[in-house]
Amino acid sequence: MFIYSTSWLLIFSTVGYIVSCAPSPRSTACQSSHTDFSQGLGGAWSEEHGSHQGWEITGEGLVMTLTKPPGVVTKIDPNTNLPFNDQLASISPTFISSTMVRYGKITYVMKTADTPGAVTAAILKSPEGDEIDFEMLSGGGDNVQTNYFYGPVPVYNVNKQANSLGSASASFHSYTIDWSPSAIRFYIDGNLIRDSPNPNNCDGSNGACNFPTHASYVKFGLWDASNPSGTAQWAMGPINWNSSPSISAIIKSVTIECSS
């Protein structure tokens, strides 16, 4: 994630959600599962904020949509001389698993958004602040970034890697996080793109590690990265709502394989 951006989940928490029901109860016990979203959310998933807007179930899977904020204006930040939008999409759909994972393999099958400034994300996130993620940026060859963070204060631009995937928004691809006590391995369509070892095999039993070690929720979502200006630049935005009044990404399935 770009240094100007806080956690994408923090950004989600500040946008205007319309809450219609509470999320499902969650468990710390990992459960291996496969969810085909063309059949619905099943019992394993809920929209994190209880919103019934900004997403729908279709024959292709779960379609997440950003819509143009009324009266949005693109401005120039006088401090950075970079463009940004003065409003964000009011709903950035975010989904969370009902159970947690501490080590295992998680595979997302997704078709990402195709508009610069919109970010499609697949994430493992712990209450303690640990995070492992894919973030798919539209434009410029469909840039796919992988990141991991540890502890309550994330350090950006240290444990990241970028890869180009020219058809991320044109067709479905699988994105796999294989998280073990010894390493995090990232795969696209079954091909290893990154192997990040755990320094000194730290397991957290003797204090903080420079590696994610806490049980985490599985999440995915679509968010508007048009503000602030530094985040918009990182996401190749801001979103040009005049050419894209509605922006969608589709998640076909998620497979969770627990290892502990």
ω into 238 cis (within 30 of 0) = yes
257 to each of 73, 103, 150, 182, 216, how far by Cα in Å? 44, 9, 22, 17, 13
Structure tokens at 16: 């205007």
Distance separating alpha carbons of residues 163 and 3, to the nearest angstrom: 18
**Catalytic-role residue among 48, 128, 131, 257:** 131
* 135 among known catalytic residues: yes
Structure tokens at 258: 């627990």
**What is the C-alpha end-to-end distance of the chain, expressed in Å?**
28
* 131 among known catalytic residues: yes
**Catalytic-role residue among 47, 60, 135, 257:** 135
35 to each of 104, 106, 107, 208, how far by Cα in Å? 16, 11, 11, 33
Task: Give the residue among 218, 122, 250, 216 at the shortest CA–CA distance from 175.
Answer: 122
* 8 Å CB contact between 109 and 172: yes
Could you list the active site residues? Answer: 131, 135
